[in-house]
Structure formats: C-alpha cells, structure tokens
C-alpha cells in the first residue's frame, strides 16, 4: 500500500500522511516542546474512522487505487475549499487588444502557501518566470517545480484551476490491509481537510 500511495503522492504534497493496520486507525505522535525552560515530549493519540472504497479487480490494482484516491482528493478540495474566481486568460474581446498576461498575478494569489496543485496551462505560464525552479518528479500528482517556498504540483486532468494550501492542510490515513471480496477489493482510507484550502478558478 505504501508503494502505491508513494507513486500517487511521491514528492511530499502534504506531511500528515499515515499508514495503519486497523480501522479505526490510531496514530500516535510525539511533539517536543519547551515548557518553563524544560524540554518535554508530549504524546498525542488520534483515532480515525476510515471509509471503505470498493476497487474493481479488472486492470492494474495499484492504478485503480491511485485513481480512486486522486478522485477523492479532488472532490474534497472542490467541496471543502474557499472558492475564488479570477480573470487571466479570457479578459473580454476589447480588453485583449491591449492586455498582456503577467504570470506574477498568478503568483500573487498563492504567495505564502506551501503548495499548489494546478493544470498544464497554468504551469506553462508560471514556468516562464525567472523565479520558477524546475524539479523532476514522478508521481501522479507530480511535483514540477517551486517558486520561492511554494511547491508546484501538476495534475493532468485539471483545467485552469489552482488548489492551494499548507503542509498541515490535509491529513491522509490509509489501512495497509486490503479486503478481497468477490466483487472487488476494499481499500480503507480517509482524506481530511484540517485547515483552509483555496480553489482558484482561472478564466
């Protein structure tokens, strides 16, 4: 299961990703804090109820799992994010004669965020900037570069949209154990939005 998810999110889209062996999944974390001049380790235990997703047995199982998880992530981002619309490509018939696209206006929308997931057209605009640094990635949600501290990920089936958030914005928990049933494989996982994420629809 870890290898399958690594192929989906191989470049560290978010830091809160866990693998468990049961459902509910229990996650134990240690946080080191300085309290009254003394360093202390604080233990935190969280329990997550995972949802079961039936995956078809036909085709490549790992690919089917990745497509299911990727779809679920986009659904969460679509319905759990703050929505903003901006004009960039289509500015109107008359305005386009004296309008010059400036990719810096796109950068201004996600400045201060840890990551964005966006489309090929948006990345083409961003990559024209000097501050765009290309990074070679391999995953389905593929890291392609960064501008400043913001990591830029590409997803092929998006159309002129920018999702953005921070490292703590999403928690993902996956059960390593799959259930083999007659009509499909059951995968248990949870994708949860913790903090504000934003969806920018670029026209």
DSSP line for 51-99? EEEEE-SSS-HHHHHHHHHHHHHHHHHHHHSEEEEE-SS---TTGGGT-
As a whole number of angstroms, the distance between CA 39 and CA 108 comes to 39
Query: The tokens of 28 are what?
Result: 């134990």
Percent of the chain with pLDDT over 70: 95
pTM: 0.84
Q: What is the pLDDT of residue 93?
A: 54
Per-residue pLDDT tens digits for 73-128: 999 999 999 999 998 887 665 555 555 788 999 999 999 999 999 999 999 999 99
Q: Hey, CA dihedral for 147, 144, 152, 114, is it positive or negative?
A: negative
What is the tens place of the pLDDT at every residue in 37-78? 788 888 888 899 999 999 988 888 898 999 999 999 999 999
At residue 198, does pLDDT exceed 80?
Answer: yes
Flag whether pLDDT at 160 surpasses 80. yes
Question: How much is the pLDDT for 11?
Answer: 65
């Amino acid at each position: 299961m870890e290898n399958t998810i690594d192929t989906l999110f191989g470049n560290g889209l978010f830091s809160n990703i866990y693998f468990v062996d049961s459902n509910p999944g229990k996650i134990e974390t240690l946080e080191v804090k300085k309290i009254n001049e003394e360093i202390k380790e604080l233990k935190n235990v969280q329990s997550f109820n995972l949802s079961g997703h039936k995956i078809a047995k036909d085709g490549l199982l790992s690919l089917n799992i990745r497509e299911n998880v990727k779809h679920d992530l986009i659904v969460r981002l679509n319905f759990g994010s703050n929505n903003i619309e901006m004009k960039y490509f289509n500015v109107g018939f008359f305005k386009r004669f004296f309008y010059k696209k400036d990719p810096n206006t796109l950068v201004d929308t996600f400045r201060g965020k840890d990551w964005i997931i966006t489309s090929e057209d948006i990345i083409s605009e961003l990559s024209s900037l000097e501050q765009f640094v290309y990074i070679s990635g391999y995953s389905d949600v593929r890291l392609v570069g960064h501008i400043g501290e913001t990591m830029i990920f590409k997803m092929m089936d998006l159309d002129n949209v920018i999702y953005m958030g921070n490292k703590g914005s999403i928690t993902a928990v996956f059960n390593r154990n799959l259930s083999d049933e007659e009509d499909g494989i059951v995968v248990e996982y949870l994708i949860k939005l913790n903090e504000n994420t934003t969806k920018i629809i670029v026209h």
